[in-house]
A and B are shown apart, each in its own frame.
Chain A
Amino acid sequence: MKKLLIAIFTLALFPTAYQAQEITLKGKELFGDMRARHIGPALMSGRINDLTVHPTNSRIIYAGTAGGGVWKSNDAGATFSPIFDDHVQSIGVVTLDPKDPDNTIWVGTGETWTRNSVSVGNGLFKSTDGGGNWKEIEGFENSERIASIVINPNNTDEIYVGVLGALWSDSEDRGVYKSADGGKTWNKILYVGPSTGAGDVIMDPKNPSVLYASMWQFRRTGWGFNSGGLNSGLYKSTDSGKTWNKIHNGFPKGKLGRIAVAVAPSDANKLYAVLETEQKDKNGLWVSNNAGQSWEHLNNDFGLVVRPFYFSRITVDPKNPDIVVKGGLSGSISRDGGKTFKSLGNMHSDIHDVVFHINDSDVMYAGTDGGVYRSWNAGTTFEIVENLPLSQFYHISTDNETPYNVYGGLQDNGSWWGPNSSPGGVEARDWNSVGAGDGFRVLKHPTKNIIYSEMQGAENVWRYDVDKNRTKTIQPLPRKGDGELRFNWNAPMAVSAHVPDRFYMGSQYVHKSDDMGDSWTIISPDLTTNDPAKQDQSKSGGLSVDNSGAENHTTIFTIAESPLDQNILWVGTDDGNVQVTTDGGKNWNNVTPNLVGIPANTWVYHIEASVHGKGTAYAVFDGHTTGDMKPYALKTTDYGKTWKNIISDDIDEDAFVRNIQEDYENEDLLFLGTEFGLYVTVDGGKNWSHFTNNMPPVAVHFIDMQKETNDVVMGTHGRGVIIIDDISPLRQINQEVLEKDVHFFDSEPITMVEQGGFSGNFGAETQFVGANKPTTARIIYYLKKRHTFGKMTMEIQDMEGNKLATLSPGKSKGINVVDWSFNTTNPKMAEAKTLSFGGFTSPRVSAGKYKVVLNKGKETYEHIIETKYDDTAMTTLADRKKQEALTKEMFDMVEDLAYMVYEIGEMQDKAQDVIKNNPKGKKVAQSLYDALEDLRTDLVVTTGDNYVASAEPELRERMADLYSNIATSYDRVSGAQLQNYELIKEEFEKEKVRYAEIKNKEGKKFMKFLEKNEMDLTMKTKEDFLGDR
């Protein structure tokens, strides 16, 4: 018996155990239609790596961008659209198949202008449908940077790929590759060594078996850069890449750096090369007039020799071999075969690529650090493409204004702030400049209208008084005995949550100011490793010295003050130290030895001091500057004594991490900013989901959570500011919720935002306009399964169950978001010849509770939401109630008129029927018809059109306009409106009397006639008539 019981018990347990299995939703399954929105900005755009024109269709242009993916223009560069949003956003090169340029596009990923802040690529991709879909080509997963793709125009299965390769480590993936079968298989056909990559690989325009390849020996570290070596060289093959020979006849001996090479499309013997050599006077432009047999030095002007690692692109006019353009600080153009140059016209500096229009060399396109520019006069005047939101943020922050502002600094594009929403959308003109040079951290003073910003290496730190429009320079300066202060290129700043005027900065020391930066105290010893081997940047650059400050190392990189205790400060350094003080800086504890799984000296990119416990913090580590791309994030709850890894296998193994943001309410909800986009966990890091709804895998450099709105705001390095509105539903995700078929997420009472400004968004046709934060009620629910078969509807009801509005419910598996604009339905309007636009107004609901009713098959799910009036209202509650009452009265009046006009119409129809078919009743019918028509023409418009041939407004039009004005106003009903109401009401009363009289006189006679002839006049009841709404 006992055995049997056990057996039954066990059996009974089995299904329970099965049911209790955890539901884990990931990615799109979890996020459903929760979407990110992009607000740009695009006014300063971002860095472009490569431009490509279609060989026969001059409308089509591609831009391969440094950190924002691939963009395609179908209108000759007026506007661009992104076509590569599911893949890594750092692009090296875009090449079109010469035989099938409409459809077949090759993209090599990984930026090739190898500055300190470049992102990484992860391979070679191909589209065969003009960019709609992409397939990764096997074999290039570890290429990191692809500089060149060339295709034999006679046999497009023959493809050559130049892999520049890893920037921060050795790599055997470098070199020139060839496929003879359209990309199925590849052979490495030119390889020099693990530190030497392929730059330009080009093909002779007449003879596809002739190839040229420039090889470049280079390496970057966190603290320096080296361009040049004995392995760099320029090679030629005349047998389709089987054998290669150096073509250095005329070049100086010794080390060479980055080499640019181009062949004139109209003269295959004419080659141009730009060299970086050991002999300064031999740097710059070289020419060969015999296809590389010998070289002649032409020019070493500044524009030709400046920063070879950053500018190494030569473009030759497609028709004229003597017109040569070279990328550079300003870009240079020669019309005498390279002997002399002038600068290109004004545009954003740092020109990386220039292309000519295929038919008209007056038209040129340039790719710069600040987007794509167009010239119509051969390069003298340039205008910017205004819809490329490629801004590259290093950092962002938000404030508590309504709408809140976003602050941040950009690569080579200064510092800015702008609203997250603006009438008509966030446009270029909404953004304000708050710093020059490269911009990094920008912070708002917690209580005053003051903004802190900085430029590279804290060369200037600014305190900007917004109201007074005054700037003061406030960076910490060395005092006697301090020695040299080492600031990072991207120097850390922090404001205190406890003492509003307190401001922190980090060099190798922590600097504290309690007077907004006027005076500073050093409150720490050198917190870095202070390793002298990483401190000599004077020789950085290699053959061409490049000491911009970008490589300054052994510096503090992140400072985090605990939101719970002003004496707790966390510091992370670029050389791997995590330090903490619990007494405001008197004592510092180096907790680096306690870290788990982090290689020594790995850059501490961000520390997040938690609101969930004084000893709790998160630290993320970025090893990519040593070639270690792994994601690292740790959590401590005991001031750094012990740490726990919170990275799971869900995260791409190369998605190195730059930032983490915790939720202020749910400790298990975390947001991770990686090189390949955003990851979210709802269980404290056991499982991570890649957020991909309108969120490309772009490098996320910084994340902030805006406390009032629960918005996650991301500063991306290539796609500007991207926001996920109100993540509070993610706080409520748990097993209980996930097991339900339908679950409505709770929300706070929803403010019915009152806005009534103008936007006048001229220029929006070709300008990027950022999406606004929805001001609707967002009804958010979870569906366990996608709803496909059967009826599913949603409506808003008052608490008595009366239908107020119908909504279109989302049916995705996972989270669904439905917007309700607080409106009910429009009034039913009287029929007329034209439209009465006031009738398209539907009244807003009052503040209060409403039912959301979701019918799904036979099931009904209800959820209650609450709306409230805007705190910034211009009117009193009493006045608002009056307005609501009058709105209702006018609404009913409009519908009363509609029903009256309906009745008139029905009677007129019947009268016409009699006139046509019953000669005996013709007279009675005609007199009724005429009397009604007289009346009708006074009630509604019966002639004209909807534009300038419109008729004078009749009662319907005037009534609807007044109704609309009252219903849409955010202020009390005005005296003028009341007087107009009296007039219209009186007029309507008169018309009602007139109508009654007609019915009584002509109507009666007509009805008698109908009765006598046994004819019917059926009419809908008012309820039925309105029910058709």
Chain B
Amino acid sequence: MKTLQTLFIALFVVAMVPSTQAQTADEILENYFENTGGVDNWKKIDGMKMTGKAAMGPQEFPFTQTMMADGRMLTEVDFMGQNFIAQAFDGEQLWGMNFQTQEAEAQDAETSENYKKNDSKDFPDPFLNYKDKGYTLELMGEEMAEGTEVYKIKVNKGTVMVDGKEENNVAFYYFDKENFVPIMSESTINVGPQKGMKVQTVFSNYQEAGDIFYPYSIETKYNGQTGQSIKIEAIEMNPEVQDSTFKMPEKK
């Protein structure tokens, strides 16, 4: 509740700021973290265990995702009561279950390495300590997204390897001008047959999770067409986890 009060105060203060005032990327981020619980509370996060439903078209599946600040990750989906590990990362190796055999298989080395060097740093938030991660930011200006006015920030995340060639890894975040939280991110798919396609992730339903505010609705769109909708139902902060949880099991 305390955070909620802080939020209202923050929103009130924000509302007082004339909208024409120029913002820097760092000021936007400062407001963002302040409005979502304060940067100190963000920094206290070691891990989160999220449960909810993932929908693709009319089908909806319960899922659990455990993400750790050190990069380890486990995404489990419930298919007809069976626990299917869609993707997991133990700090070194990215792996997941083969749908046909339901056994764990390693993802290719390039994908694993890209995950380790990039995605694994983005929890709990890509902008938290972004300089330490080697990211650079650029405020691209003001735009419209989701029908509303936003600041567009470019994040240069370094490089990824794509079929043996190095390519830049860039993402764009759109921060609502009214409350400074990101409502959308956009990047270009750089591997696989969809290479070149723009993928948007839309954030909403920001609600309390421990001492911070977190988007409980995350929708992925491909060139604007909804692909997957994630509804988070509960978030357990700093869950107790076993190291073995993230390790790829031996094949039976």
Contact = CB atoms under 8 A, between A and B. Distances in A.
Given A786-B183, A789-B213, A831-B82, A132 B146 contact: no
B204 interface: yes
B188 A132 contact: yes
A129 B147 contact: no
B22 interface: no
A72 B190 CA distance: 13
B196 A81 contact: yes
A29 interface: yes
Nearest to A805: B58
A286 to B, nearest CB: 41
Interface string B176-199: 100101010000100001011100
B151 to A, nearest CB: 14
B80 A829 contact: yes
A320 interface: no
Contacts of B170: 129, 132
Interface stretch (A529-537, A615-623, A818-826): A818-826
Given A102-B167, A786-B146, A35 B80 contact: no
A27 interface: yes
A648 to B, nearest CB: 19
Interface stretch (A106-114, A809-817, A863-871): A809-817
B60 A806 contact: yes
Given A129-B168, A786-B183, A946-B101, A823 B58 contact: yes
Interface in B80-126: 80-82, 99-102
B100 A835 contact: no
Contacts of A33: 146-147, 224
B223 interface: yes
A836 interface: yes
Contacts of B195: 74-75, 81
A693 B146 contact: no
B206 to A, nearest CB: 5
Contacts of B165: 57, 59
A786 B148 contact: yes
A788 B181 contact: yes
A832 B147 CA distance: 46
Contacts of A80: 196
B231 A808 contact: yes
A791 B208 CA distance: 11
Does more than half of chain A's interface fall in helix, strand or loop, or is it mixed?
loop
Contacts of B140: 133
Contact of B100 (A102, A785, A793, A945): A945
Interface residues of A, number: 62
Given A693-B224, A788-B206, A806-B60, A133 B168 contact: no
A74 B195 CA distance: 7
A80 B197 CA distance: 10
B147 A74 contact: no
Contacts of B205: 787, 789-792, 811
A947 interface: yes
Contacts of B81: 829-832
A808 B59 CA distance: 12
B217 A808 contact: yes
B183 A788 contact: yes
Nearest to A766: B193
Nearest to A808: B229
Counting chain A CB atoms within 10 Å of each CB, the highest count among B148, B165, B206, B216 belongs to B148
A811 B204 contact: yes
B207 A791 contact: yes
A27 B146 CA distance: 11
A584 to B, nearest CB: 48
B219 interface: yes
B31 interface: no
B226 interface: yes
Interface in B228-251: 229, 231
Nearest to B219: A808
Contact of B80 (A30, A790, A823, A832): A832
A809 B132 CA distance: 37
Counting chain B CB atoms within 10 Å of each CB, the highest count among A805, A813, A825, A832 belongs to A813
B226 A826 contact: no
A897 to B, nearest CB: 12
Nearest to A30: B147
Contacts of A765: 193
A857 to B, nearest CB: 10
Interface in A36-62: 57, 59
A694 B224 contact: yes
Contacts of B154: 129, 133
B148 A29 contact: yes
A28 B60 contact: no
B25 interface: no
A811 B147 CA distance: 9
A909 to B, nearest CB: 14
B144 interface: yes
A132 B207 CA distance: 32
Given A29-B148, A814-B147, A947 B100 contact: yes
B63 interface: no
B134 interface: no
A693 to B, nearest CB: 7
A133 B102 CA distance: 42
Given A75-B195, A831-B80, A831-B81, A130 B148 contact: no
A839 interface: yes
B193 to A, nearest CB: 7
A35 B179 CA distance: 26
Nearest to B156: A129
B224 A35 contact: yes
A592 interface: no
A771 B222 CA distance: 13
Interface string A889-919: 0000000000000000000000000000000
A786 B176 contact: yes
Contacts of B80: 829-832, 835-836, 839
B57 A821 contact: yes
A378 B193 CA distance: 27
Closest 9 interchain pairs by CB?
A: A813-B147, A81-B196, A831-B81, A808-B229, A947-B100, A814-B147, A812-B147, A786-B148, A28-B144
28 contacts: A28-B144, A30-B147, A31-B147, A33-B146, A57-B165, A102-B168, A133-B140, A133-B154, A694-B223, A694-B224, A783-B147, A786-B176, A792-B217, A806-B53, A806-B231, A808-B55, A808-B226, A808-B231, A811-B205, A811-B217, A813-B147, A813-B148, A830-B81, A832-B82, A834-B102, A835-B82, A945-B101, A947-B101
Interface of A: 27-33, 35, 57, 59, 72, 74-75, 79-81, 83, 102-103, 129-130, 132-133, 693-694, 765, 771, 783, 785-793, 805-806, 808, 811-814, 821, 823, 825-826, 829-832, 834-836, 839-840, 842, 945-947, 949
Given A80-B196, A787-B205, 9 more contacts: A28-B144, A32-B146, A129-B168, A129-B170, A811-B205, A832-B80, A832-B82, A945-B101, A949-B101
